[in-house]
Amino acid sequence: MVKEFKEFIARGSVIDMAVGIIIGGAFTSVVNALVDGMITPIIGVIISFLFPGAETVEDATKGLTFIVNGVTFDYGKLISAIITFLITAFVLFIIVKSVNKAETLMSKPEEEAEQKEEETAETTEDVLKDIRQLLANQAADTKEKEVTEDKK
């Protein structure tokens, strides 16, 4: 069981997945900082125009909550999480698209080389036909020489 686990962990895909998770976690921090530091204040400014009584961004973002029987529902956090998700998904989409394009471009020359090999490679039949034609031509030349020598 331990040996199987070692083999599983040693596979490249598991290591790639672990690296992806770590980078994803770090990237999430960057996106959260972007949303919390830039996008949420912009939303706060927009809301401050809708609710002119707000003096600070915090006051303006309080407009993204509602209270029912003393329980606060903060849908501003939901909006922030959705924005974070969309930014992360878009960046990952761009990365995957770029990697796929690079793989396609790298595999194209290989495919073209294989196609050229297939086009230029003669089959055994073609080679045998060429040999037969050469032998027939050679036999015809030999007969012509014999005929001309006999006439002399």
Computed from CA positions of residues 92, 97, 98, 100, in that sequence, does the dihedral angle turn out positive or negative?
Answer: positive
Q: Report domain extents, the chain.
A: 2-121, 122-152
Q: Which residue has the higher pLDDT, 83 or 10?
A: 83
State which CATH number among 3.40.190.10, 3.40.50.300, 1.20.810.10, 1.10.1200.120 fits the domain covering 2-121: 1.10.1200.120
Angle, vertex CA 141, rays to CA 137 and CA 147, nearest 5: 145
Q: What is the mean pLDDT of the chain?
A: 77
pLDDT-derived band of residue 139, with 50, 70 and 90 as boundaries?
confident
Name the nearest CA neighbour of 38 among 3, 2, 91, 87.
87
Q: What is the pLDDT of residues 64-91, one digit of tens each?
A: 777 888 888 888 778 878 888 888 888 8
pLDDT-derived band of residue 6, with 50, 70 and 90 as boundaries?
confident
Q: What is the pLDDT of residues 96-115, one digit of tens each?
A: 888 888 888 887 777 776 77
Pull the structure tokens for residue 70: 């003393």
Specify whether the CB–CB gap between 39 and 57 falls below 8 A.
Answer: no
Q: What per-residue confidence (pLDDT) applies to 136?
A: 86
Query: In this structure, how many other beta carbons lie within 10 angstroms of the beta carbon of residue 61?
Result: 21
Category of 69 on φ-ψ map: left (φ > 0), alpha (ψ -120 to 50) or beta: left
Interval 29-37 mean pLDDT: 84
What global pTM score does this model have?
Answer: 0.49
3-class DSSP state of 56: coil
Q: What per-residue confidence (pLDDT) applies to 85?
A: 83
3-class DSSP state of 54: coil
Taking 70 as the threshold, does the pLDDT of residue 152 lie above it? no
**Residues, the chain, total?**
152
